Structure 1
Amino acid sequence: MLSMFNHYPTFQLFLALVLSMALTVAVMPGFIKLLRHREIGQQVRADGPEGHLVKQGTPTMGGVVILLMMCLSVFIVHAPDMRLLAVAAATLLTGLLGFVDDAAKVAKERSLGLTPAQKMIGLTVICVVFCLVAVNMLGVSPVVTIPFANIDIDLGIAAFTVGGVYVPWLY
């Protein structure tokens, strides 16, 4: 029954989403227990808002499980190709940046990990490299087609590079 729908990208995406959620729900409790056992948790500044004090000791780095389960489910649902690998690599590199931020907080035993500028520079590098790889190595076209008007606008490589530089800063 599923095989007749499996060739639709939207169905594959839906299947990967459901599988990813199920895997995350199954794995996350064990991961949280492991982090609590090793006393790896959120550090909160004493001079910060009182409402933040309840976050003290809350396990951090849950994004690791979410990203790994997401990539695993996508590779289970869809046969890996170069475009999928590029998107997965960009996603995992972004997650690695978050992991480094959380690890710095845990190692320093305080709430300060990477600075906002360091995070944004890391995201910008990831975006620019991804855009350059997509256009130059994977054949992603920098052309925007306006439906029903038969108009194609060639944005050129500059649009992807500029987009890769500016998009992270919209955060």
Structure 2
Amino acid sequence: MSYLQMIIVTGASFFITLILGPIVIPILQRLKVGQSIRDEGPKSHMSKSGTPTMGGIMMVLAVLITTLTAGLSGEQMKDLYVMLFATISFGLIGFIDDFIKVVLKRNLGLRAYQKLIGQVLIALILAIYFLKTSSYKANIYIPFIDTSIDFGILYIPFIVLFVVGTTNSVNLTDGLDGLASGVTLIIAAFFSLVAVKMGMPSVAIFCGALTGACLGFLRFNAYPAKVFMGDTGSMALGGAIAAVSILTNLTMIIPIVGGIYFIEALSVIIQVVSFKLTGKRVFKMSPLHHHFELCGWRETKVVIVFWLTTFVLCMIGLFGIRI
């Protein structure tokens, strides 16, 4: 797998997403699957009400079409199927949640415990599969110190927590036009470069397709957004990134390169714990991107700063991996 091949795959996925946009968005508009905006959210977001959601379908389709026509075979297809399984299955949970909210008009969607049960079951399948098939076994690579730790019997619960945590963190990041898609684009590009260096063509092709899909989706999702990815897209992206990091044995690099995911989720945890224990809020609003909005930052400024932060973190991440 060469860098040129990866670029071709990325470009193909990008153009497929661009083609899907004018097809999928009008369909979503006709189905009236418009985003509802929380009353307690930033007032500037009220104008987004009614914008079509569930646009993540475009990215999932682009990745699916691109990877399945990329010419992989044998063992490479097994890894590809696992990544697609994680992407589609988590995306399906998001799709059901979106469908209940915007089509059946039940604002809460799936209950929290229902989503969690589904997420844990999928994560458990992935954890058992990787433990049985991965050459790394239960060893987890630790970046910067270039060593691995054998997690032994703790490997499965660790992977389950990691997968569930990652997918929900990406979901929390999806709150501003172009934020989650842009951050994930950069992280997917990081993993595609790493996969080429590691000699993992299936991962490189998948991440290249994911990069192109996110880039194409930004054409419609950047401010002012014509479509939102919904939980369909954010959950699918979270599942994809989680599966890729496990396949490459780089789960411990996610808190670094995915630092934005991490602080978004952490801000919610801090806010909830603080309010329950003291009755006071640490942030003006959580997740963190809303805090900056309420501090007076324009939405586009928050998004660009978070993109640049992710780029810098990915550069740091490259130094932490010895390939």
User: Do Structure 1 and Structure 2 share a fold, with TM-score over 0.5?
Assistant: yes
Instruction: State the TM bucket, normalised to the shorter chain.
Output: 0.7 to 0.9
Deviations 1:61-89 (A, max 9, x none): 11111111112212222415111111111
> Of residues 9, 16, 26 in structure 1, which corresponds to 2:19?
26
Higher relative contact order (CA 8 A, sep 6+): 2
Task: Using the TM superposition, give the Cα deviation of residue 144 of structure 1 relative to its aligned residue in structure 2, in angstroms.
Answer: 4.6
> Aligned residue for 1:109?
105
> Of residues 130, 136, 152 in structure 2, which corresponds to 1:134?
130
User: Is contact 2:89–2:122 with CA below 8 Å preserved after alignment?
Assistant: yes
> Compared with structure 1, are the counterparts of its residues 12 and 77 closer, same or farther at alpha carbon in structure 2 (3 Å cutoff)?
farther
> Of residues 81, 86, 91 in structure 2, which corresponds to 1:90?
86
> Compared with structure 1, are the counterparts of its residues 12 and 40 closer, same or farther at alpha carbon in structure 2 (3 Å cutoff)?
same
Give the whole-Å Cα distance in 1 for the aligned partners of 2:51 and 2:147.
53
Deviations 1:18-50 (A, max 9, x none): 2212111111121001111222222335x4443
Question: What is the correspondence of 1:3-14 to structure 2 with a 5 Å cutoff?
Answer: 7-8=1-2, 11-14=4-7
**Larger-gyration structure (1/2):** 1
| 2:73 is aligned with 1:73 | no
Instruction: Read off the aligned partner of 2:61 and give its amino acid letter.
Output: L
> Aligned residue for 1:4?
none
Instruction: Read off the aligned partner of 2:57 and give its amino acid letter.
Output: V
User: Is contact 2:98–2:109 with CA below 8 Å preserved after alignment?
Assistant: yes
Query: What is the aligned length?
Result: 160
Please state whether the residue corresponding to 1:169 is helix, strand or coil.
helix
- Runs of 5+ unmatched residues, structure 2: 170-323
Q: TM-score, normalised by structure 2?
A: 0.43
| 2:73 is aligned with 1:62 | no
> Compared with structure 1, are the counterparts of its residues 12 and 25 closer, same or farther at alpha carbon in structure 2 (3 Å cutoff)?
same
Higher mean C-alpha displacement, 31-40 vs 161-170: 161-170
Give the whole-Å Cα distance in 1 for the aligned partners of 2:45 and 2:142.
48
> Compared with structure 1, are the counterparts of its residues 115 and 15 closer, same or farther at alpha carbon in structure 2 (3 Å cutoff)?
farther
Give the whole-Å Cα distance in 2 for the aligned partners of 1:123 and 1:26.
31
- Aligned CA-pair RMSD: 2.8
Task: Using the TM superposition, give the Cα deviation of residue 152 of structure 1 relative to its aligned residue in structure 2, in angstroms.
Answer: 5.7
> Compared with structure 1, are the counterparts of its residues 99 and 145 closer, same or farther at alpha carbon in structure 2 (3 Å cutoff)?
closer
Task: Using the TM superposition, give the Cα deviation of residue 109 of structure 1 relative to its aligned residue in structure 2, in angstroms.
Answer: 1.7
Give the whole-Å Cα distance in 2 for the aligned partners of 1:152 and 1:108.
48
> Compared with structure 1, are the counterparts of its residues 163 and 16 closer, same or farther at alpha carbon in structure 2 (3 Å cutoff)?
farther
User: Is contact 1:44–1:111 with CA below 8 Å preserved after alignment?
Assistant: no
> Compared with structure 1, are the counterparts of its residues 146 and 36 closer, same or farther at alpha carbon in structure 2 (3 Å cutoff)?
closer
User: Is contact 2:54–2:98 with CA below 8 Å preserved after alignment?
Assistant: yes
Identity %: 29
Give the whole-Å Cα distance in 2 for the aligned partners of 1:89 and 1:11.
26
- Higher fraction of helix: 2
Instruction: Read off the aligned partner of 1:127 and give its amino acid letter.
Output: A
> Aligned residue for 2:223?
none
> Aligned residue for 2:44?
51
Give the whole-Å Cα distance in 2 for the aligned partners of 1:131 and 1:158.
11
Task: Using the TM superposition, give the Cα deviation of residue 127 of structure 1 relative to its aligned residue in structure 2, in angstroms.
Answer: 1.7
> Aligned residue for 1:163?
158
User: Is contact 2:33–2:103 with CA below 8 Å preserved after alignment?
Assistant: no
Give the whole-Å Cα distance in 2 for the aligned partners of 1:165 and 1:85.
19
